[in-house]
């Protein structure tokens, strides 16, 4: 455990004017209060507050924050009271300690409703004094570093909480180093096998290629010397969790990833940043679409840097971040820069932005939302997303989360614009409303009187603001449509158990479900806030569809008339568990598409042909064919092992075609009969883990959308 003298020496190194007596008094008080208490690891409990304090001292924090860290568990876990802490150390520190205690007592792993309320409290506490959150983040970091002493179920709970809440919060506050470490520590608990696999592959890669980082760093330094630019070059391999997330996002194996190395170039001036960019792009080819200038368009937390990805040595992609020393300090410490000291003086960094503004604006916007699920969804969207910057026709800059669409852009300008949106132009070209916007694009929203949000917009929008406004509009303007749809869903659900959805039956169901009226129940049923199985179970619990029963294939899709012919689209091959829509064909029936199917673009201007559908609840038969695109090594027995793996997942291969044969690799399309999306995930995960599988993905062909119609 760090001693008083060691702590004082660490603080005096960056703040010679520190109040040494205050720190020593706090150390002694905390040690006395925790005397006799032990951690689960067997260490004295006070070693934990001291370790938290050292983490904050490494961030060069002010005395009040350090004293709060030393005392942060005294009010909660010892006989010390708020009044005693205030008397000894003043009101500022007492309020900070009390704030940390309140955050600690939040049950962030509870139900959605409680969790939403906890988020409200967390942000309210954060907006009063961000140092409360800094201490809590440091507290969580040390607990994650020592998590092995906890029981396995407690480890999993804390790791999931860290991954869902604390790591994104640290990143949003600009403390990227802390976010990465929290994610990696949580990843180690939640999926140690995947993490170890990535580390092993890194070791193998280094053995095969040598120290790539050192070689590329040397190459960059040579180019900077040629351009007479003085700068520091730092290279590193990306963290295991960062690589894992990229593998999931791109649906690629480790061997297919190229940009697993990152380099930072730290310059003296802003002008040098752009000179470095020129030197790097002259020497190596830039990767299209991977350039971001956060110097001219900073992130809301003050982050400034130029990001570019280039094809480096042996064609390997490397990410390069270019920034000044001041920008680097903000990028590393984030919000902590507001309280950091150097040589006894508060550091004045012109690039530091107080995140209180972001948190205050967030709480103001979300205070208007009464629905707990919507609040929770909006908060997570606000916290977890990176940002893109787009321009309005007037030149105004609109900040949006990564992956945002023109619908999000419209609502970001004004709710009225979003409500009346009928189309969009990006850089002068008409685009579908589900287009993902990119940095620097100019967006024009096309509006029309009488237009109102469509139900499909919920799946297209990504911002909390847009989703909330769309849901509110749908509830207010489409209530009759939801009631009509809910009535049909109820009729089908009751017929499935041999009963009729009479007025009396529906009134009884609504009363049993504690709803105000039948219309309220039908409206919720039609808007998917309530499932038909629950309505049936309210009256006939023994007849309600059991999860283990197999769904009748002829009634697998809800939202169609009983006599309507339908089939799964051959282009996207949707399976139960995925969001679906239907496209009507006069005299032929309905084709069921996945919501993200590219072929839907052909029907964008024909909204009257679209149907809002969903899959029947329950266990579906393994009759939904999905085509998998596999690349495997050309070795003896590999194909046999692939077929065995699929069979072990209780899936049947209905067809297999080789589309490319090379001396070392085969590419083939495999038709597999599956039950649902979860079944598909299990099959693909099993194949992904096979060392002889180079790549795997779903084969989707928009050209197959025009296949002849046949009844399922």
Q: Could you give the C-alpha distances from 645 to 392, 422, 426, 570, 640, in angstroms and in order?
A: 52, 48, 45, 25, 9
Could you give the CA distance from residue 489 to residue 482 in angstroms, rounded to a whole number? 10
Catalytic entry in 25, 77, 270, 332: 77
Residue 401 near residue 386, CB atoms below 8 Å: yes
Q: What is the DSSP letter of 165?
A: I
Helix (H, G, I), strand (E, B) or coil at 617: coil
Q: Which of 25, 43, 76, 671 is catalytic?
A: 76
Instruction: Give pairs for 421-430: CB < 8 Å, separation 24+.
Output: 421/445, 421/446, 421/447, 421/451, 422/446, 422/447, 422/448, 422/451
Q: Token digits for 44?
A: 């004295």
76 catalytic, yes or no? yes
**Percent of the chain as helix, strand, coil, to the nearest 5:** 50, 15, 30
d(CA 627, CA 536): 36
Distance CA 416, CA 367 (A): 20
Closest C-alpha to 130, from 167, 188, 178, 169: 169
User: Is 367 a known active-site residue?
Assistant: no
Burial class from Cβ neighbours inside 10 Å (0-12, 13-18, 19+) for residue 635 reads exposed
Q: Which residue has the tokens 């001291």?
A: 50
Closest of 49, 43, 106, 99 to residue 73, by C-alpha? 49
135 contacts: CB under 8 Å, gap ≥ 6? 52, 56, 65, 68, 69, 72, 96, 100
Question: What per-residue string of b and e applies to 267-290 under the rule 16 or more CB within 10 Å gives b?
Answer: beeeebbbbbbebbeebbeebeee
| Residue 54: other Cβ atoms inside 10 A | 18
CA atoms 479, 484, 490, 496: torsion sign:
negative
- Catalytic residues, which ones? 76-77
């Amino acid at each position: 455990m760090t001693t008083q003298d060691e702590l004082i020496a660490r603080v005096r190194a960056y703040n010679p004017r520190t109040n040494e007596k205050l720190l020593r008094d706090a150390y002694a008080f905390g040690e006395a209060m925790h005397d006799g208490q032990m951690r689960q690891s067997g260490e004295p409990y006070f070693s934990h507050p001291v370790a938290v304090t050292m983490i904050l001292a490494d961030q060069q924090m002010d005395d009040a924050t350090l004293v709060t860290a030393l005392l942060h568990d005294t009010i909660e876990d010892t006989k010390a009271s708020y009044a005693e802490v205030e008397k000894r150390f003043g009101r500022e520190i007492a309020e900070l300690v009390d704030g940390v205690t309140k955050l600690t007592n939040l049950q962030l792993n509870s139900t959605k409703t409680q969790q939403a309320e906890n988020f409200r409290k967390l942000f309210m506490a954060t907006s009063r004094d961000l140092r409360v959150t800094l201490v809590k983040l440091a507290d969580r970091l040390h607990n994650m570093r020592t998590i092995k002493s906890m029981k396995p179920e407690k480890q999993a709970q804390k790791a999931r909480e860290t991954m869902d809440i604390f790591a994104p919060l640290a990143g949003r506050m600009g403390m990227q180093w802390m976010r990465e470490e929290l994610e990696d520590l949580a990843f180690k608990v939640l999926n140690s096998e995947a993490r170890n696999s990535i580390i092993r592959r890194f070791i193998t890669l280094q053995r095969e290629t040598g120290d790539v980082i050192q070689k590329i760093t040397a190459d960059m330094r040579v180019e900077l010397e040629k351009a007479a630019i003085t700068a520091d070059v730092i290279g590193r391999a990306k963290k295991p969790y960062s690589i894992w997330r990229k593998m999931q996002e791109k649906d690629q194996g480790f061997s297919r990833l190229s940009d697993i190395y990152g380099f930072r170039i730290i310059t003296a001036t802003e002008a040098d940043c752009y000179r470095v960019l020129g030197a790097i792009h002259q020497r190596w080819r830039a990767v299209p679409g991977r350039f971001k200038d956060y110097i001219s368009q900073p992130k809301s937390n003050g982050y400034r840097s130029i990001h570019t990805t280039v094809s480096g040595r042996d064609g390997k992609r490397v990410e390069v971040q270019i920034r000044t020393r001041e920008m680097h300090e903000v990028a590393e410490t984030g919000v902590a820069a507001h309280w950091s000291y150097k040589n006894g003086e508060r550091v004045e960094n012109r690039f530091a932005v107080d995140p209180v503004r972001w948190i205050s604006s967030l709480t103001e916007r979300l205070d208007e939302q009464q629905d707990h699920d919507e609040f929770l969804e909006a908060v997570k969207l606000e916290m977890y997303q990176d940002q893109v910057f787009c321009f309005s026709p007037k030149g105004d800059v609109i900040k949006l989360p990564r992956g945002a669409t023109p619908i999000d852009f419209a609502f970001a300008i004004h709710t009225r614009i979003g409500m009346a949106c009928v189309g969009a132009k990006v850089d002068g070209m008409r685009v579908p409303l589900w287009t993902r916007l990119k940095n620097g694009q100019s967006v024009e929203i096309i509006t029309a009187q009488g237009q109102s949000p469509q139900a499909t917009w919920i799946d297209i929008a990504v911002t909390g603001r847009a989703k909330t406004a769309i849901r509110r509009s749908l509830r207010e303007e489409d209530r009759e449509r939801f009631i009509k749809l809910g009535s049909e869903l109820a009729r089908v659900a009751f017929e499935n158990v041999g009963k009729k959805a009479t007025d009396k039956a529906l009134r009884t169901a609504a009363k049993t479900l504690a709803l105000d009226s039948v219309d309220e129940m039908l409206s919720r049923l039609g808007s998917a806030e309530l499932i038909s199985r629950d309505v049936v179970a309210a009256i006939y619990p023994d007849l309600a569809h059991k999860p283990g029963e197999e769904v009748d294939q002829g009634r697998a899709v809800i939202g169609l008339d009983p006599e309507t012919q339908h089939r799964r689209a051959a282009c996207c091959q949707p399976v139960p568990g995925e969001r679906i829509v239907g496209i009507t064909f006069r005299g032929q029936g309905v084709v069921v598409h996945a919501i993200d199917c590219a072929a839907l673009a052909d029907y964008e201007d024909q909204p009257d042909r679209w149907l809002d559908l969903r899959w029947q609840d329950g266990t579906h038969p393994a009759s939904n064919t999905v085509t998998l695109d596999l690349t495997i090594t050309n070795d003896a027995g590999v194909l046999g092992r692939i077929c065995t793996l699929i069979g072990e997942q209780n899936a049947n291969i209905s067809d297999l075609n080789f589309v490319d044969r090379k001396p070392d690799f085969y590419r083939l399309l495999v038709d597999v009969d599956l039950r649902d999306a979860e079944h598909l995930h299990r099959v693909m995960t099993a194949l992904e883990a096979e060392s002889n599988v180079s790549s795997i993905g779903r084969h989707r062909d928009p050209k197959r959308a025009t296949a002849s119609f046949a009844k399922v």
